[in-house]
Amino acid sequence: MNNNNHSRRSFLRVAGGALSLAGVQHLASMNAMAQNPTDYKALVCIFMFGGNDGHNTVIPMATQPYNAYKAIRGNLSLPNQDTQVLNVVAKNGTPYGLNGGFQSLHPLWAQGKMAVVANTGMLVQPTTRQQFLSNAVPVPTNLFSHSDAVQQMQAGSPTGSGGTGWAGRVADAVVGINGANTFPPTISMAGPVLFTKGNVVQSASLIPGYDMTLSGMNFWPETAAAARRQSYQEILGMDSGMAVVQSANKVRQDALSLSAMLKNLSAGPALGTVFPGTNLGQQLQQVAKIIQLRGQTGIKRQVFFCSIGGFDTHSSQSWAHWDLLRQISDASAAFYNATTEMGIADKVTTFTESDFGRTLQPSGAGSDHGWGSHHWVVGGAVNGGDLYGTFPTMALTGPDDASSRGVLIPTTAIDQYGATMAKWFGVDPAGLQTVFPNLANFGVSDLGFMA
């Protein structure tokens, strides 16, 4: 399943996900909460639609676990002495291998700017194999379903309900830091998504390189063009009495307002960093351009959502998976270089999410839907060069297997993963409990990978 079909979702990105300016203007009423810090911070999510195979993203390189991995994975296993694996060593001396697609990001591990968070996923509470098999504890709704898992990982909720995303609630929690600023604090570069939607803050949605200005509104004589523009504005503001029409008109108006806002800002000298021409490269380049405007917008906390599809690798996985990781690596390495160029590498943190992981045991030339998976975090504020969490046991029906095929029961909750970044972002302890209602179930809320 590919949830990144840009051609068929182009309209939705403008019509369904544009900024609700009324929601942002509500920030003015919360001015008393403003902390007025002088710093800037941004979180940038790269969502891997389809379910990334963590088993071939980070592999164990110590002899016994590698041999167990190779025996189970068979034709999908990565060789331990080849360009397909990039060697890294955790701070405790344990060797691991990154997929060869990480060529561009690999140097950041040695520089301490990249970390891996092992076996992360959606949980209700800590869960063992025995508890899962005996139905002794609650688990996320409809495990192994793409649509449910995507909603849950973006919502930060095992049911995916509530109508808000965890990043949107993070933005709500630091709303006072942005004060009465009307520039959107949460922006999706991949269409309307739950992830960036808050209760107070509404998400903007942009298409990289797309001009939201209406066509056919500039012609001679100017008086006629002005009259047409005025008529269109009157139509958008008209009360039709129909909720759907009113909502659509409001979204159009917000898109036009945001477009005008961006056009009236000047980013100054163009960034020298070269981004790859891939779709993800274009998304992250657009993020960099918006961050470059921070001095003019005055915004101090922002969250961005980018995505890449194609990770539902039931067949022909080996090359396809390598190429997808290469695209992420090349694009996010360029993005990190851009933040370095802007002098804010320690103010911007990029991280990954996905529906779920894959089975350790292959299914022919691919793998099936799993649960826990490995994710990674990049940025100048990352305590990098290390692996956080607990790396799983490479054994079918082992302590981490929810089945007999190597479906990992997560040992790190998305709540803990997100809360660690939210704390760095400026969310206080009480706010963390609001952002992640189940966080108290997991004991440790700060995994330590952020400085």
Q: Which fold has domain 6-32+41-209+265-442?
A: Alkaline Phosphatase, subunit A (3.40.720)
Domain map (residue ranges) of the chain: 6-32+41-209+265-442, 211-253
Q: Which pLDDT belongs to residue 266?
A: 64
Pairing of β 412-413 and β 95-99: unpaired
Tens of pLDDT, residue by residue over 5-18, are 433 333 333 333 33
Q: Which pLDDT belongs to residue 267?
A: 58
Tell me the DSSP string of 207-252: -TT---SPSS---SSHHHHHHHHHHHHHHHH---S-HHHHHHHHHH
Q: Which residues of the chain have pLDDT under 50?
A: 1-37
Residue 50 near residue 1 (C-beta atoms within 8 A): yes
Tokens at 112, concatenated: 């301490």
Tokens at 85, concatenated: 């694996």
Question: At residue 354, what are phi and psi to the nearest 5 degrees?
Answer: -155, 165
Residue 405 near residue 396 (C-beta atoms within 8 A): yes
Q: Which pLDDT belongs to residue 22?
A: 34
Q: Which pLDDT belongs to residue 55?
A: 98
Whole-structure pTM value: 0.88
Question: At residue 23, what are phi and psi to the nearest 5 degrees?
Answer: -65, -40
Q: Which pLDDT belongs to residue 12?
A: 32
Tens of pLDDT, residue by residue over 368-398, are 999 999 999 999 999 999 999 999 999 999 9
Closest among 84, 85, 113, 104 to 330, alpha carbons compared: 104
Q: Which pLDDT belongs to residue 210?
A: 65
CA dist list (Å): 183 to 15, 166, 186: 19, 20, 9
